[in-house]
Chains A and B, each alone.
Chain A
Amino acid sequence: MTPNYSTISPFLISTKSKWSRTLGYIGLCLGVVLLLCSVQMFMNVQQFISGKEIKKSGYDFVSVSKLITDQNMGKDNRFNAAEIQEIQSQPFITDAAPLISNEFRAQISAGNIIPFSTDLFLEAIQDDFIDSVPPSFQWRPGELHVPVILSADYLEMYNIFAPSQDLPQLSESSIGKVQLQLDCSGMNGSGRYSAGIVGLSSRISTILVPKSFLEWANQTYGGKKTEHAARVYIKTENISNPELVQFLQTKGYFVNKERTRSARIKVILQSFVSGLGIFSVIVILLSMMLFAFYLQLMIARSKDNLKLLQTLGYSPTWLSHMMSKRWIPVYAIIIVVACMITIALQYAFSLAFSYKESLSPFIAWPVVGVAAFLLIICIWFNSRLISRELNRL
């Protein structure tokens, strides 16, 4: 039989009041729950807001147009090349691209399957501003098929309006199968093309065609080189940047308020969750201090016994190892309980918001990672503390 913790436990005098220890357990568990929840909530907020597809690769993309007022009504309120250049040169704007529109008449019909025909506007932008660009979204002069990317909002609107007009409702997957006919006409002639919806955009509210097609068609049918744009899309790291807001206001440019509002909400929510995270770290630190006091008190009260054990031949390393090992299950249980509470809260949260967003009922891997990291930190802290106190004897 070799010595183990039970050999030395009778010689360790714990504090008479178990309150400080129990308070330490509860405090640590509460702190860990708060920290895990704040990490989880941070990710939930990220998912909520990013679900709207504003951000791609960590950037905000927003549409900017000129504000139409009584004073400038009737004038050409489109952006010229110099204005676009000025927007691009701002330090808080990563990139900007004009959304060019058709300078000819465009009509679209769905043939005999869906008796639907309408005049419409077409727009085009450089590909890296589009949230998802399928490989088929390209056009070369001479081709008679034009790929189209439709705003997801338009599909939603169509499906609302379709039943009342005896038109079939369309799903995201079936819309690609609808064969459309695009008629282009202008002062320089007309042309008929087949068109197909190759994708949906949640970011850009328009009907997008390849830039190469629109530039060619504007020249061919409209007889004009594309120089102006009614809208400019900007790519920025933070849409709520006060400098950006100031710049847009000064220039009289109009931004989709809903998008900036959601960005602001996101910043507020993330700040709140970050604040909660900092608070939870403070709670954890306080609990660890409580544990430290408890351990220091126990070692101080057992000082004579621990010294005598060392005199008898027990090494300080072995004593420290045994005493530290004793606490591993305690920390493990606290953190597992905290994880289970976080899982339960996330499950309840996902149920509460299930009508709005498809939120995972499970906690995210980074949360599990944080829990594992905390466990390691607690064990390390404990071991260091005991070892330091024993070496001081």
Chain B
Amino acid sequence: MQASSIQLELLVPEYLEKDKLVHSQVWNTRLHFRIGERIQIVAPSGSGKTSLVHMIYGLRKDFSGAVLCDGKPLKSFNPQELASWRKNRISVVFQDLRLFPDQTAERNIEVKRLLQPYHNVSKVTEMAKRLGVYEKLRQTAQTCSYGEQQRIAIIRALQQPFDFLLLDEPFSHLDDRNAERALSLIEEECTARGAAILMIDLQEVPFFKAERTLHL
């Protein structure tokens, strides 16, 4: 069986201006991400960070080139295969978090955990306590602050098995102390799974020890 990997083959978003391709280390290149790696992709606003996350996660198809998952183009996945990819192989913390605003934080986490349980409920409680949002579990997501929502989204992303974890500006609303705590939890969880981290942010995250840093 082929080792779990994600390859970007000459990936170019349809909307991207040509001049942005010239100095990019990601667009229109060949990249290979393997399990266990720590990769950081940095770029200023408007250069397609979120688009890249969406392309790798299979939410967007408006690009040329290919995203290959274990050698198979993601674009060719049928809805069933795509669901399986998201359930078992890849997890994500979206920049816009994508929580159910009118549901409690607990239910937001639980709906992901039940899909393919990796941890039990007590682990969720432990993670919430560790990130300082335990008191918020019974509150609806919309009544939590953005920083709290960000931590809930991180906990939700860690409830399933995965080989790759996509982080799209995951600490944008966290202070350094909370960001460090969150990253420490993420590192632990990814190490336990042998999973890769693709950290995508505006600038290098100081306490993230990346093996490769790429400029978008």
Q: Is the CB of A315 within 8 A of B98?
A: no
* Interface membership of A318, Cβ < 8 A: yes
> Which residues 102-125 of B sit at the A interface, judged by CB distance below 8 A?
103, 107, 110-112, 114-117
- Cα–Cα, bound, A227→B79 (Å): 83
Residues of A within 8 A of B98 (CB): 308, 311
Q: How far, in Å, is A331 (CB) from chain B's closest CB?
A: 26
Q: Check A312–B112 contact: CB distance below 8 A.
A: yes
Tell me if A309 is interfacial: C-beta within 8 Å of chain B.
yes
Interchain CB contact under 8 A, B79 and A317: yes
A313: chain B residues at CB < 8 Å are: 83-84, 86-87, 112, 115-116, 160
Residues of A within 8 A of B115 (CB): 3, 312-314
B208 within 8 A of A: no
Please report which residues of chain A, range 1-48, place their CB below 8 angstroms from some CB of chain B when the two chains form the complex: 1-3, 7-8, 10-11
Task: Answer whether residue B59 sits at the interface, using C-beta atoms and an 8 A cutoff.
Answer: yes
Smallest CB–CB gap between B52 and chain A, Å? 16
Chain B contacts of A7 at CB under 8 A? 110-111, 114
Would you call B80 an interface residue if the criterion is a C-beta within 8 Å of the partner chain's C-beta atoms? yes
Q: Which residues of B contact A316 (CB under 8 A)?
A: 79, 83
Which residue from chain A places its CB closest to the CB of B86 in the assembled complex?
A313
**A1 and B86: CB pair below 8 A?**
no
Q: Does A260 contact B (CB under 8 A)?
A: no
Instruction: Determine the residue in chain B with the shortest Cβ distance to A305.
Output: B100
Q: How far is the CA of A309 from the CA of B84 in the complex (A)?
A: 13
From DSSP, what is the main secondary structure of chain A's interface residues?
helix
Query: Which of these, B80, B110, B112, contacts A315 with CB under 8 Å?
Result: B80
Chain A residue nearest to B160 in the complex (CB): A313
Verify B59–A2 contact, CB threshold 8 A. Answer: no
Determine how close the nearest CB of chain A comes to the CB of B1; give it in whole angstroms: 22
* CB of A246, distance to nearest CB on chain B (Å): 66
Which residues from 290 to 331 on chain A have a C-beta closer than 8 Å to any C-beta of chain B?
305, 308-318
Closest chain A residue, CB of each to CB of B121: A1
C-alpha spacing A310/B114, complex, angstroms = 14
Task: Quote the shortest CB–CB distance from B112 to chain A (angstroms).
Answer: 6
Q: How far is the CA of A20 from the CA of B49 in the complex (A)?
A: 46
Task: Identify which of A10, A311, A317, A391 contacts B103 (C-beta below 8 A).
Answer: A10
Q: Which of B98, B112, B114, B117 has the most C-beta atoms of chain A within 10 angstroms of its own C-beta?
A: B114
Q: Which residue of A lies closest to B88 (CB)?
A: A313
A1-B114, A3-B115, A11-B111 known; A315 and B100 CB under 8 Å? no
A310 and B100 contact, CB distance less than 8 A = no
| Complex CA–CA separation, A318 to B112 (angstroms) | 15
Q: Which residue of chain A lies nearest to B82 when distances are taken between CB atoms in the complex? A: A315
A309-B111, A311-B59, A313-B160 given as contacts; is B80 within 8 A of A11 (CB)? no
How distant is the Cα of A312 from the Cα of B93 in the complex, in angstroms? 11
Which residues of B lie under 8 Å from residue A315 when comparing CB positions? 79-80, 82-84
Q: How far is the CA of A3 from the CA of B117 in the complex (A)?
A: 10
Q: What's the Cα separation between A15 and B191 when bound, in Å?
A: 46
Cα A312 to Cα B107 in complex, Å, equals 13
Task: Give every chain A residue within 8 A of B59 (Cβ-Cβ).
Answer: 311
Instruction: Tell me, in angstroms, the Cα distance from A7 to B103 when the chains sit together.
Output: 12
Inter-chain contact B80/A317, CB cutoff 8 Å: yes
Mark out the residues of chain B between 31 and 90 whose CB falls within 8 Å of any chain A CB in the assembled complex.
59, 79-80, 82-84, 86-87
When distances are taken between beta carbons in the complex, the residues of chain A under 8 Å from B160 are 313
Per the bound structure, the CA–CA distance linking A314 and B114 in Å amounts to 10
Smallest CB gap from B58: residue in A: A311
Complex Cα distance A10/B106, Å? Answer: 13
Interfacial chain B residues near A308, Cβ < 8 Å = 98, 100
The answer to whether B86 touches A311, judged by C-beta atoms less than 8 angstroms apart, is: yes
Chain B residue at minimal CB-CB distance from A316: B79
- Tell me the bound Cα distance from A11 to B86 in angstroms: 19
**Chain A 221-257 per-residue mask, 1 if CB under 8 angstroms from chain B, else 0:** 0000000000000000000000000000000000000
Cα-based distance from A316 to B84 in the complex (angstroms): 11
Looking at the assembled complex, report how far the CB atom of A37 sits from the nearest CB atom of chain B, in whole angstroms: 44
- Tell me the smallest distance from the CB of A4 to a CB of chain B, in Å: 9
A391: which B residues are within 8 A, CB to CB?
79
A-B contact pairs, 28 of them (CB 8 A): A1-B114, A1-B117, A2-B114, A7-B110, A7-B111, A11-B100, A11-B103, A11-B111, A308-B100, A309-B111, A310-B83, A311-B59, A311-B86, A311-B98, A312-B115, A313-B84, A313-B86, A313-B112, A313-B116, A314-B115, A315-B80, A315-B83, A315-B84, A316-B79, A316-B83, A317-B79, A317-B80, A391-B79
7 nearest A-B residue pairs (beta carbon): A315-B83, A313-B86, A313-B87, A3-B114, A316-B79, A7-B114, A313-B115
B residues at A contact (CB < 8 Å): 59, 79-80, 82-84, 86-87, 98, 100, 103, 107, 110-112, 114-117, 160
List 12 other contacts, CB 8 Å, given A313-B160, A315-B84.
A7-B111, A8-B111, A11-B100, A11-B111, A305-B100, A308-B100, A310-B79, A311-B59, A311-B86, A312-B111, A313-B83, A318-B83
